[in-house]
Structure 1
Amino acid sequence: MAARAAEGGKVGYFVREIERNDGSTLRIQQCSEGDVGCVVWDAAIVLCKYLETKAFWEPAAGRNEWLQKRVVELGAGTGAAGLMAASLGARVTLTDLPELQHLLHLNMEENRSLVTQGDVRAGELTWGADVTEFQPEPDFILMADCIYYEQSVGPLLKTLRDLAGPHTCVICCYERRTVGRNPAVEQTFFELLLQDFECHEIPLEQQDPEFSSPDIRILHICRKP
């Protein structure tokens, strides 16, 4: 990985490259200092590559399910998944806490040349807060490794209920972790989620053959009729 120092030499940035199926490369800047949102986690890479599978994108057949679709990424962190969607033609809003906006803007500029048919912007969003700025309802909501803190379960679910419309598809990708409170947090999240939503797990054979793992789940989540 390439590395460089930020202004003043206090914070280090290093690049994670994600190669797209057409041979171009997303260059995602990560930060050596900060919380979990400052690096590209494995689930984000798995989600990025899933967005390019035949379920959504078959250039040879003239099929592109992302073209001009409205997409909101929750807990975007570095913005990798949302930027992949934007590079495929979606109109994307990357959302995260105020302290991560600088990293989102850095990565938007780093990859601006790949966003030729869609567009991308960043917005501040604390889970549980008002989502009026991000409406009307998106076609897709992306979530990569957002299920981890016990105290965030309630606010995250409120944001999903407020933001997802009857036709919104939430694509949730996360790594199952078996240490500490992680299993209990996961169980609580899905018990509460299933009160209002339905979930369909994507089998490994429908994911990218190289960038997939039994430990990382991809779910399609939609509102109950």
Structure 2
Amino acid sequence: MAGPGFVRTLEKRDGSALRLEQRGAGGVGCVVWDAALVLAKFLESGALGLRRCAVLELGAGTGAVGIMAATLGADVTVTDLEELQDLLNINIEKNKHLVTGSVQAKVLKWGEDVKEFLPAPDYILMADCIYYEESLEPLLKTLKDLSGPDTCVICCYEQRTMGKNPEIEKKYFELLQKDFELEKVPLEKHDEEYRSEDIHILNIRRKKNGRVFFIEILEIVL
């Protein structure tokens, strides 16, 4: 793991602030991405009512989203690969004085066994998890294995137009809609400051009773 990096501060509405250490040479999971900031501030708006809810974050990276949820009263498990556990635990420690629920870090590799994370949480949070084509099917398997009929998946991602990104995003949503219903959160419901036309928040749930629900792919990714 890379040595100490630089700290990103995320101010909360009550005047306190999350302090999130980042690592300059540790890969994509070691910095606070814009989609994580947008999702964290959306959670702070109170739209979900997280107090006493069981929350699991996938691809947590620095833990910004999950730690924010824990400051809002949720009982949170932030998950990522083994090499990111040190950074996650550092950031949990830095912000423990703000936590009103609970938060812990655990290793979870997409596509592998999720038994220790069951029963299904109330919420699954994801910020900027759509980037590698080879990770799409393992991520979808993990979502299906973790989510119950009442689990709400909140996915926030930045739309990227370079290279293969549009193709990867389109494939992801095509695969996702085989088992899940998608609803886009309108931009006006995002935090007034932390929002962007290029960053989208989706509310995702398992399909029920064989009901077919289709949302035009291009409406999401374009």
TM-score (norm 2): 0.92
Aligned to 1:3: none
1:55 CA displacement: 1.7
Counterpart of 1:21, as a letter, is R
Mapped pair 1:131 → 2:114:
yes
Q: Give SS of 1:27's match.
A: strand
Mapped pair 1:210 → 2:193:
yes
> Which residue of 84, 91, 100 corresponds with 1:107?
91
Give ranges in structure 2 of 5+ residues lacking alignment: 209-222
Mapped pair 1:87 → 2:71:
yes
How far apart in 1 are the matches of 2:12 and 2:160?
28
**Percent identity, aligned pairs only?**
61
* 8 Å contact from structure 1 (residues 197, 224) kept in 2: yes
Question: Counterparts of 1:168-179 in structure 2 under 5 Å?
Answer: 168-179=151-162
Aligned to 1:53: 45
How far apart in 2 are the matches of 1:115 and 1:55?
19
Give ranges in structure 1 of 5+ residues lacking alignment: 1-5, 57-64
Mapped pair 1:36 → 2:19:
no
1:12 CA displacement: 3.7
Aligned to 2:60: 76
Aligned to 2:126: 143
Mapped pair 1:163 → 2:146:
yes
1:11 CA displacement: 2.3
How far apart in 2 are the matches of 1:160 and 1:191?
15
More strand by share: 1
Cα offsets for 1:75-127 (capped at 9, x unmatched): 000000000000000000000000000000000000000013x0000100000
Q: Give SS of 2:91's match.
A: helix
Aligned to 1:19: 11
* 8 Å contact from structure 1 (residues 12, 33) kept in 2: no
Q: Give SS of 1:33's match.
A: coil
How far apart in 2 are the matches of 1:54 and 1:80?
16
Q: Give SS of 2:116's match.
A: helix
1:23 CA displacement: 0.9
> Which residue of 145, 148, 171 corresponds with 1:188?
171
How far apart in 1 are the matches of 2:192 and 2:75?
27
Q: Give SS of 2:150's match.
A: coil
Q: Give SS of 1:40's match.
A: coil
Q: Give SS of 2:8's match.
A: strand
How far apart in 2 are the matches of 1:112 and 1:200?
33
* 8 Å contact from structure 1 (residues 44, 173) kept in 2: yes
Aligned to 1:119: 102
* 8 Å contact from structure 1 (residues 83, 120) kept in 2: yes
How far apart in 2 are the matches of 1:197 and 1:224?
5
Aligned to 1:59: none
Q: Give SS of 2:5's match.
A: strand
* 8 Å contact from structure 1 (residues 98, 124) kept in 2: yes
Q: How many residues align?
A: 208
Instruction: Give the aligned CA root-mean-square deviation in angstroms.
Output: 1.1
